[in-house]
Structure 1
Amino acid sequence: MSERFSGKVAIVTGAASGIGKATALRFAKEGAKVVLFDKTDGVHEVAGQINQAGGQAYAMTGDAGDEGDVEALVKEALSRFGGLNVFFANAGITGGVRGGYFDATPEHWAEVLRVNLIGPFLAVKHSATAIEGSGGGAIVCTASVAGLRSGAGPAQYSASKAGVINLVQTAAQQLAGTGVRVNAVLPGLTETGMTKPMYDGARAAGKSHMIGQLNPMLRGGEPEEIAAAVLFLASEDASYVNGQALAVDGGLSSSHPTSRPPGDPNRPSS
């Protein structure tokens, strides 16, 4: 595997599991020094895994929606590794309510927006100058296909992710000329800690074959598939990609809801 990030420093939030963990491991495998950040102590295990494999990683616990914690995170990356080239603002929550209107309170919404939207804002605010000072680089934020339209998450989560899509657009404009690109990755259904109850329920009911059946790939995604897209957006391979929202969803967002037969009857058979 190439080392696209040799000599680079990357921060990953929400790095203890799922997409964050997969991305941190991939950054390290491609040569980056990685600062891992999460609210849970599991982040130290991931850092240990990287270090034991010969990489360089440091773990911190904290709150991705707290300005003091995010500011300290960036300062730690600078002091420990001497620079910052990539910030992957990945930490997020659903809010714990399914509908988001009649079963939710303003407090539910405020907490989701604090972590999912203010968190990426803080990432941009505190990392952009550091990245510019290190010669340029990229900020990648985790949004979601739920931010594109209804049907992929509860209302408070969907609204927060729609905000992230707009955030990367406005940030890209405000950072014009700095050498800092800002993009979003939009996962579709992916097996992570956030989606574990749904996956577990489907398996327990003998319906695991139905997971992801609404997208043309007819399956759910893996965290490593999202990580691959994040590394593309963070790398020089995406040097002219800025202010964009890249859906990695098996094609789910390419269509409006419809009933679809198992195959196209007009498609020639092989």
Structure 2
Amino acid sequence: MRFTGKSIIVTGAGSGIGRAAATLFAAEGGQVVVADKVGAEATAAAIREAGHTAQAIEMDAGNEEDVLRTIALACDSFGGLDIMFANAGISGGMANIFNTDVSLFSEVLRVNLIGPFLAIKHGAPRIAERGGGAIILTASVAGIRSGAGSPAYSASKAGVINLAQVSAQQLSGSNVRVNAICPGLTETGMTQSVFDYAREAGKIDRVGRLNPLRRGAQPEELAKVALFLASDDASYVNGQAVAVDGGLSSSHPVTKQEYGRTSA
């Protein structure tokens, strides 16, 4: 029960990693504002049915007015704000640089990068008022190096990683920690078609085969890392980007060797 009495906002909580995190936060005693454009009420209802505390709000994470409304709901309902998980994001497809419209690039940056910026700008002061707490941002392995997402998505997530570092420094002395998680291939709404196709084709064993664990992740595996970073267990972790990718980002491309076999 690491989050008993804590006021928590999770954006992008209508599905995937956000839904899993909101559910786990609530199960550990948190009072959770479930925020998303779609599906927030369904997640909140499931949390309440399990006997826990949740409020739902429909919001666009890249819209400043919506972010302010969401923070106000947490403060009005639960007396303040202790933790903010800025998780909402969009993929922007897989077009290359030369086939990507400026409007699409701008929209991906608005949601994926401006969204976390707004969460920090408006959330951190409220968290500091309560004596400190944590902000967690969802970045991606695509933000670490190329090969895991479109140009717009990758650039936005690289920005999120840097934003975590810069904001941790600018919040010096506030006792507000800021960290990011960098998911690898995870079964969420963004990637569901990949997993569904693989299952239908009998090729699910090939999903995630480029990482050493040779599988994709489930949302709960990412959510548990976010909860760790939000908790007092991570009280000395600040300004970090934690890759949760089965080991994918631990190496440059190499010829794989089988476990137990040695090279000639």
1:51 aligns with 2:35: no
Superposed displacement of residue 264, structure 1: 4.3
Q: Does 1:262 align with 2:244?
A: no
Paired AA for residue 115 in structure 2: G
The whole-number CA distance in structure 1 between the counterparts of 2:80 and 2:118 is 18
Q: Map residues 101-112 of structure 1 onto 2, 5 A cutoff.
A: 101-112=97-108
Q: Secondary structure at the match of 1:157?
A: helix
Whole-Å separation in 2 of the counterparts to 1:45 and 1:203 = 26
TM-score normalized by the length of structure 1 = 0.95
- Secondary structure at 2:98 match in 1: coil
Aligned partners of 1:154 and 1:201: how far apart in 2? 20
**TM-score normalised to the size of structure 2?**
0.97
How many pairs does the alignment contain?
Answer: 263
Gaps of 5+ in 1: none
Question: Which of residues 23, 26, 50 is equivalent to 1:25?
Answer: 23
Task: State how far apart, in whole Å, the 2-side matches of 1:45 and 1:217 are.
Answer: 33
One-letter amino acid of the counterpart of residue 147, structure 2: G
Picking from 130, 144, 153, the partner of 1:134 is: 130
Q: How does 1:165-244 map to 2 (within 5 A)?
A: 165-244=161-240
Distance in 2 separating the partners of 1:175 and 1:208: 44
| Structure 2 equivalent of residue 147 of structure 1 | 143
Give SS of 2:187's match: coil
Calculate the aligned-residue CA RMSD, in Å.
1.1
Q: Give the CA deviation at 1:261.
A: 2.9
Residue 68 of structure 1 aligns with which residue? 65
AA matched with 2:244:
V
Unaligned segments of structure 2, at least 5 residues: none
Partners of 2:81 and 2:234 in 1: CA distance: 18
What does the per-residue CA deviation read over 1:81-126, in whole Å, with 9 as the maximum and x for residues that have no partner?
A: 1011000000000113x13312211001000000000000000001
Using the aligned pairs only, state the percent identity. 59
Correspondence for 1:15: 13
Cα distance between partner residues in 1 of 2:96 and 2:122: 30
